[in-house]
Homo-oligomer: A and B are copies of this chain.
Amino acid sequence: MIFTQKLEQAWAATGSLLTVGLDPDPQRFPAELSGRPDAIYEFCRAIVDVTAQYACAIKLQIAYFSSARAEDQLEDLCAYIQDQHPNLPIVLDAKRGDIGSTATHYATEAFERYGADAVTVNPYMGYDSIEPYLSWRSKGVIVLCRTSNTGGSDLQFVESAQGEPLYLRVARLVAERWNTSGQCALVVGATFPEELARVRAHVGNMPLLVPGIGAQGGDIPATVKAGLDSRGTGMLINSSRAILYASGGDDWREAAAAAARATRDAINTARSLVLGG
């Protein structure tokens, strides 16, 4: 199924805009997984099982697998999600950015090796670094626009002679020129709601992946107000650490589920206020 359709069905079926981000750090795993060679897989699998009902998508941060020599566990995890949670879109957060033939290899990694429904990419090298991903017609390509970190301003806030900040140029390029097939989405951080609103005003109902709530401090009501599309959806609001490590004790599964449910509910409360007002 096409990524954007799968996402729309997930929004409708779950009533949730929450995306659960898997940044598996073995140093923060519960004691029961200590020393297990497949600890990363088992931890992530358990988190997915207990949070899937509260989430419109799952986001896998590949760096955590790469640093741990755990590509095999990432393969197994993706296969597990596709098998047990077939309606849950998988976003591979890889932030790749390279030219032509190399980009094709990265797309092959994301879409064929791991079977991800969408991958995050970096726009610095321009359209011909994005285009190869679009050949996989059913897949989503989520382009970095305004990132949630402080240093994001170093380049993304540079203004053109026309007074347009770079992140807004990226939003326009993607919306007006690069998104020829409806496969594109954007990353816009929750830590800058004003800029999120500016992006939304330029991109219609394009899906926005929004990191930065939870541990990074983004405000949920402001984020929801700034980012909802005309249908009252259009966002993948990501939370990672605040869900994954909600408890380090024996109740880690229940605590993660409760954190995911509470975040979904906080998002939906904010959504009701916006849509009702």
Interface residues of A (CB under 8 A from B): 23, 25, 61, 63-64, 66-67, 69, 71, 95-103, 105-106, 108-109, 112-113, 122-131, 144, 147-156, 158-161, 163, 166, 169-170, 173
Contact = CB atoms under 8 A, between A and B. Distances in A.
A40 to B, nearest CB: 12
Contact of A159 (B71, B95, B160, B163): B160
**Closest 10 CB pairs between A and B?**
A126-B151, A126-B154, A128-B151, A63-B105, A67-B105, A67-B108, A99-B149, A66-B109, A127-B151, A124-B124
Contacts of A150: 126, 128
**Most-contacted residue by chain B among A23, A25, A127 (CB, 10 A):** A127
- How many copies of this chain does the complex contain? 2
B161 A124 contact: no
Contact of A105 (B64, B71, B124, B160): B64
Given A67-B105, A155-B124, A100 B169 contact: no
Contacts of A148: 99
A53 to B, nearest CB: 27
Contacts of A147: 99, 124-126
B129 A151 contact: yes
Nearest to A167: B124
Contacts of A101: 23, 25
Contacts of A103: 63
Given A67-B106, A126-B156, A166-B166, 5 more contacts: A63-B103, A67-B105, A67-B113, A71-B71, A126-B153
18 contacts: A61-B102, A63-B103, A63-B106, A66-B105, A67-B108, A69-B113, A97-B124, A99-B148, A124-B144, A125-B144, A125-B147, A125-B155, A127-B154, A130-B151, A131-B151, A158-B166, A160-B161, A161-B163
A103 B62 CA distance: 11
A124 B123 contact: yes
Contacts of A153: 126
Nearest to A124: B124
A33 to B, nearest CB: 18
A155 to B, nearest CB: 6
A102 B240 CA distance: 12
B158 A123 contact: no
Contacts of A125: 144, 147, 149, 151-152, 155
